[in-house]
Copies of this chain bind each other. A is one copy, B any other.
Amino acid sequence: MIAGGGGRMKEVHSLGELRLARQGLPGPLGFVPTMGYLHAGHLSLVRRAKSECASVAVSIFVNPAQFGPNEDLAAYPVDLPRDQALLEQAAVDLLWVPTADQMYPAGFQTWVTVEELTRPLEGEHRPGHFRGVATIVAKLFNAMHPDRAYFGQKDAQQLAVVRRLAQDLDFPLEVVACPTMREADGLAMSSRNARLNPKERQAASVLYRALSAAQQAHAGGEREAGALRRSMVEILQAEPLSRIQYVSVADPETLAELQGEVRRTLLSMAVFVGKTRLIDNVLLGD
């Protein structure tokens, strides 16, 4: 027996169709914005939304505005038929698949920027990324008008940015954070994992091993930011296929890098494994 499903999912493409379909959905509406190539992480967001909302809508849109000129937009994995089947099976009510032409038509020139929060970490290494994220999220929120929007803790800075923009721009919705889903060896689920070759895939667990080492040090009483940082760097450097882009011990709200004794803190990192850039994080001291 398959739970849910049964062909009731409506799929729309244009903004006009979306608005019409949206009106027919009973509230509260839960919304899961995605870039497709769905994995168990996305599906955990859908399940959470299903459990809390009368209706659930998902969008699939690989947003060009959040990819830099040297980034992997063209290489971003796509498998719409598989995504459709997974969402249908998860009893999603509405799937919206807009096109880049609809979202960024000729003459488009309005951008949403979140300032301080987007300067460090991903923002520092991916200039323009969060302008693209904030703008598409504002557009998706306006088009979908959800009551709750679900985001994964895996993209910790994105989550902080979306929370900030929802608050600052008075979006009438609740941003719900959901825990990172992990493979058996601890690798955080990500559409980008599909690009790892078998050796890289094995090496990729190093991010979680590094985070776990710092977590254990913290559990053992270590409170010094530099020591926590070093415990992660050591593990990462011991893995020959990995190359560190950043390793951070930051304030979970402001994302400012911490020095000295820390209480609550966000440990995060961006690490290349082969040519694939992976990110991961854990929250300490909650």
Contact = CB atoms under 8 A, between A and B. Distances in A.
A28 interface: no
A142 B134 CA distance: 15
Interface string A1-32: 00000000000000100010000000000000
A134 B110 contact: yes
Interface in A124-179: 134-135, 138-139, 142-143, 145, 164-165, 168-172
Interface stretch (A47-55, A114-122, A229-237, A265-273): A114-122
B15 A170 contact: yes
Identical copies in the complex: 2
A76 interface: no
Nearest to A112: B112
A109 B164 contact: yes
A21 to B, nearest CB: 13
Assign chain A's interface to a size class: 20 to 34
Given A109-B164, A164-B109, A169 B139 contact: yes
Nearest to A117: B109
B109 A172 contact: no
A138 B169 contact: yes
A114 B113 CA distance: 11
Contact of A111 (B15, B113, B171): B113
A19 B112 CA distance: 23
Contact of A170 (B109, B134, B142, B172): B142
Given A111-B113, A145-B145, 16 more contacts: A19-B172, A109-B116, A109-B117, A109-B168, A110-B114, A110-B115, A110-B164, A110-B165, A112-B138, A113-B113, A138-B138, A139-B169, A142-B169, A142-B172, A143-B170, A143-B172
Interface of A: 15, 19, 107-117, 134-135, 138-139, 142-143, 145, 164-165, 168-172
6 contacts: A15-B170, A108-B168, A109-B117, A110-B115, A142-B172, A145-B172
